[in-house]
Structure 1
């Protein structure tokens, strides 16, 4: 009986997105209808298109709990638990984790925040605001999943000093789906992740520079590394906001070994408060395989209210020399070597 009472209270709070004793319950529900060309191969060998319900086209579905407690002297305890799920079937995402999007606890004061748990990596933190298309499904994370990556077993510091941002992250095992979560006794380098970032966000300018390094996730590959250097900036000019960015990638870890350079540029325009229009180009120069795929994409959102939006997105990915970039990511519902057109129209609701 007591359990039912607590569940009823939680649902009541969630329905209004309200705070109680420093705890906020929140979430996002997003779904769309999507068309994709060259999404598969039929029995006769011909390329097939698909029309389907698509989960999280504008923003990934989630619900979560976020809280803080004033400890006095300017010090606060902070926490966040955030779960990702598929709205079409109710299945948990992020490998079936209950709180796969975020799960951390920490302390915060005027010098910044120190948190421990499963957290967004520093590339995610910086480029969520520097993607011209705002992390729609046809956007920056489609070119590299690390732009929306998380690190298990991580310690993160982030500070903001009058617009100057500094951050650092260390993970003792960034992928807990492998044996021991990458934390192997006597094998210090297995699954480690190191990352630092600097940036500036004040007035119309937002700019960040991030370095990220991951070690191999097995004893045999712990000496191998995957390295990224990402830089980006945006500058608001009236109702317009142009974006530019670059990422250097180098890995000798088996399975993900490659060398490439990613370039992107885009523009956001808000003619009125209720309308957001964005467009961008993402070009990936994969020198290790002599492939040069690119993605052209645009999206639009109409704000029906502060919490509900109608949206649409269109994308075109061009492949050659065997590359397999789909509009939603490499190897995502696309026939390798084919180009792809994607269109999605949907609704999102925030609570």
Structure 2
């Protein structure tokens, strides 16, 4: 009799719903993007150069990556999330960041009707604000001035501002808390990154806020963020942009400015990025994008310099996940930004394939 009852109980449990399992999800995802790129006046890593080069390049359209993300409903409108993501050099099979495996994201968080709070390594608010209004659609991250300069991925200042873990850029911050609240068309963001240095206090900390409003046809997005070095030198940055969709066209523009203290004697570097562009989709399988960027730099005791950069992308969708693309870029330096030994102009052309999974 006891065995019969046990069998009935096990059968009932097997047929009963399992809310925790049914409401949980785990996704493995990624992007594989590589192409053949020819440049004149640029190195294979797209730095100014007096010569030409040809190479297999990774991430010209979109950065190659692999990631894991999951969500579990906790009941009462609450949920838990996590995201782990690493960037890849598809041409060599190596991580983009040799010192941080999950360099693109390493977060866990809680959310509900009030918004979402995440903790870990994550993008700054400048990057979040620029994403929906970048004229090139955040393509070619290592070469796109809105990503490199406006969002501080490659600020070129040689100092660690905020808890970035590197002196080359502050696009992502370690030890950070981020709040994101979405209420109808309004998105509000706030972020604080703990410096966690031996100096204590606010050394290498970062504080920011962002706001965006969007409809199916237009979006306005902006953010402000302040970063500190271990010596309490500050970098302040802000961005504001908009995009508008009309039929098969998408127009976008953005302007950004950063002001950084770079020496104990209050030496400063001010950088501005202005951008405008359009994407035309004449067919469901074809996207054509043109974007123009202007970068201006002012440094204490030096002549102002900068450059203009034009990006052209043509993408043909083979399927929902695979596309062929062609890319053409032209850079015109001013004020000797590229270095005296290098050419005043540079050109690049790429043909590639991108697959997402």
C-alpha separation in 1, matches of 2:107 and 2:342:
39
The answer for unaligned runs of 5 or more in structure 2 is 1-21, 44-48, 154-169
Please point out which of 282, 286, 290 is paired with 1:271: 282
C-alpha separation in 1, matches of 2:33 and 2:219:
28
User: Would the aligned equivalents of 2:150 and 2:239 in 1 still touch at CA under 8 Å?
Assistant: no
How far off its partner does 1:61 sit? 0.8
Q: TM-score scaled by structure 1?
A: 0.82
User: Would the aligned equivalents of 1:117 and 1:154 in 2 still touch at CA under 8 Å?
Assistant: yes
C-alpha separation in 1, matches of 2:310 and 2:341:
18
The ranges of structure 1 where at least 4 consecutive aligned residues each deviate by more than 6 angstroms after the TM superposition are none
How far off its partner does 1:185 sit? 4.0
How far off its partner does 1:92 sit? 1.0
How big is the alpha-carbon RMSD for the aligned residues of Structure 1 and Structure 2? 2.3
User: Would the aligned equivalents of 2:326 and 2:351 in 1 still touch at CA under 8 Å?
Assistant: yes
How far off its partner does 1:97 sit? 1.4
Greater Rg by CA: 2
Please point out which of 249, 266, 291 is paired with 2:305: 291
Alpha-carbon deviations, 1:236-286, whole Å to 9, x = none? 111111111101111113499411322111111111111111111111222
C-alpha separation in 1, matches of 2:326 and 2:228:
38
How far off its partner does 1:145 sit? 5.5
User: Would the aligned equivalents of 1:323 and 1:337 in 2 still touch at CA under 8 Å?
Assistant: no
C-alpha separation in 2, matches of 1:276 and 1:143:
26
How far off its partner does 1:39 sit? 2.8
Q: TM-score scaled by structure 2?
A: 0.81
The yes-or-no answer on 1:209 pairing with 2:222 is yes
User: Would the aligned equivalents of 1:323 and 1:336 in 2 still touch at CA under 8 Å?
Assistant: no
How far off its partner does 1:336 sit? 4.4
Classify the secondary structure of the residue corresponding to 1:96.
Answer: coil
Alignment of 1:108-119 (within 5 A): 108-119=111-122
How far off its partner does 1:302 sit? 0.7
Please point out which of 49, 53, 57 is paired with 1:50: 53
How far off its partner does 1:134 sit? 1.5
- Quote the residue 1:103 is aligned against: 106
C-alpha separation in 1, matches of 2:354 and 2:65:
11
Classify the secondary structure of the residue corresponding to 2:137.
Answer: coil
Classify the secondary structure of the residue corresponding to 1:126.
Answer: helix
Aligned length: 308
Alpha-carbon deviations, 1:309-342, whole Å to 9, x = none? 1011111111122102xxxxxx9xx964631101
Change (3 A) 1:121 1:335: farther
Classify the secondary structure of the residue corresponding to 1:124.
Answer: helix
Change (3 A) 1:336 1:95: farther
Please point out which of 76, 79, 84 is paired with 1:81: 84
Classify the secondary structure of the residue corresponding to 2:89.
Answer: coil
The answer for unaligned runs of 5 or more in structure 1 is 1-18, 41-45, 174-182, 325-330
